[in-house]
Amino acid sequence: MIVGSSYSQIAMAPFSRLLLAALLLVAVIGEADAGGGQARYDRVFSFGDSLTDTGNSAILPATAGGPFTNAPYGQTYFKRPGGRASDDGRLDSIVELLKLPYLASRSADIHFRRRSLTDTAPSGQTRLKSPSDRASDGRLVIDFIVESLGLPQPTPYLAGSTANDFQQGVNFAVGGATALDMAFLETKGIKSFVPISLSNQTTWFNGVLKLLASKPNEQRKMMASSLFYIGEIGFNDYSFALMNNDTVGLAESLVPDIIDVIRSALIDVIDAGARRIVVAGMIPMGCEPELLALLPSGASGYYDPESGCIARFNRLAQLHNTALNRMLSKLRRAYRRTSIYYGDLYTPVTAIVSSPEEYGFGSEPLAACCGGGGGQYNFDFAFFCGTPLSTTCADPSKSVSWDGIHYTEAANKFVADTMLNGL
């Protein structure tokens, strides 16, 4: 379980239920605004990797294309192929292990070409021509958050170019993104393949901010009416490290650096005028079918007896979440006019993996719904979801994992719901 909070403690936190609901169906840690009242948002700005990306990786040259653009991605909600989700075929094992999309180019080209994905609605609002581009059979946690606030979906950063494109919010998340820069990872002997880090995303944000408003007071007013969502970030950093080193020691050594980068991103948006921020924690890495299939072991204690997940990888996630909560507590004291909330991903996912039928899921929570290869995890890159040899389970809503790397819409909805309601 995540360190720093329990759902019973969350229920006792000093928030009115009205304010808590307005603050987006999120389990929160921290203090409410001193003035109280109901929050009102005009837009959402989001950051992160594939668990939050709603279209950028489908545009980025290094990640565009591949099986994630094919059916059955997006089938549950969008009724058409979605965006990116993983590699195409048998690429290097380090790439196959991670939450990486198909690598159309192996070069670390950070000069992107933009692609027009929008048209103009009668109201003058912009909308995506393709409603999916998500690593799932349907919606992500960020989608449920936005829907709960009654707001339009944020425009993927690479799909826009004008102030009008970004007026209703921006999603900066990119599938395969790391928290740490490529150059830093290389100093640790770690090779990454997607040239986007959290600092790149905050640079994009600062550019959009100047595009939306030229005067500092106008910028701060706009940011004060916006909700900021920092989605899970760091999974890819840790996974690269695990593939470079057979022990978790190298991955664990990255925790302080990753937390520091997240802290810098938070200070950046706070300085820009952000008043309410949700920061998601790390998922239970040891429960990912891809990791379970690719890194098996017969060692005693390797698997958690209750969940069947890889225990040492989940301990790494807990270490990350403990450090993250400690950092958030310090920021709350330093920036008392800004409400900073912790979004717990670890607890609800481990709950449905450990007791799936109790929460309406099927009896095989560690098996991928879409893909192939059979066995306990149904994960093999030769049968990866969206490729010709892949198959899809009869009812994705009973599965936790969609493609062995990303969650189903049902799991994403469960996480979003339990962020408010508790288990």
Residues that are catalytic = 50, 403, 406
Q: What is the pLDDT of residue 315?
A: 98
Question: How does pLDDT run along the chain (423 residues), one tens digit per residue?
Answer: 222 333 223 222 322 223 333 344 333 333 333 333 445 899 999 999 999 999 999 899 988 875 676 789 899 988 755 443 322 232 333 333 344 433 332 233 333 333 333 333 222 222 333 337 889 999 999 999 999 999 999 999 999 999 999 999 999 999 999 999 999 999 999 999 899 999 999 999 999 999 999 999 999 999 999 999 999 999 999 999 988 776 799 999 999 999 999 999 999 999 999 999 999 999 999 999 999 999 999 999 999 999 999 999 999 999 999 999 999 999 999 999 999 999 999 999 999 999 999 999 999 999 999 999 999 999 999 999 988 999 999 999 999 999 999 999 999 999 998 875 532
Q: What is the pLDDT of residue 18?
A: 31
Strand arrangement of the beta sheet that strand 226-230 belongs to: 155-156, 169-171, 43-47, 226-230, 276-280, 339-343
Which uninterrupted H or E stretch holds 232? none
Q: What is the pLDDT of residue 177?
A: 97
Q: What is the pLDDT of residue 66?
A: 59
- Residue given tokens 């489908």 in the structure block: 58
Q: What is the pLDDT of residue 63?
A: 85
Give 51's contacts (C-beta < 8 A, 6+ positions apart). 99, 135, 140, 141, 173, 231, 232, 283, 406, 407
Distance, in Å, from the CA atom of 239 to the CA atom of 45, rounded to the nearest integer, reads: 26
Q: For residue 119, what are the β-bridge partners?
A: 127
Give, as one character, the DSSP assignment of residue 310: B
In a 13 Å sphere around the CA of 171, the CA atoms on its Cβ side amount to 29
Distance, in Å, from the CA atom of 350 to the CA atom of 414, rounded to the nearest integer, reads: 12
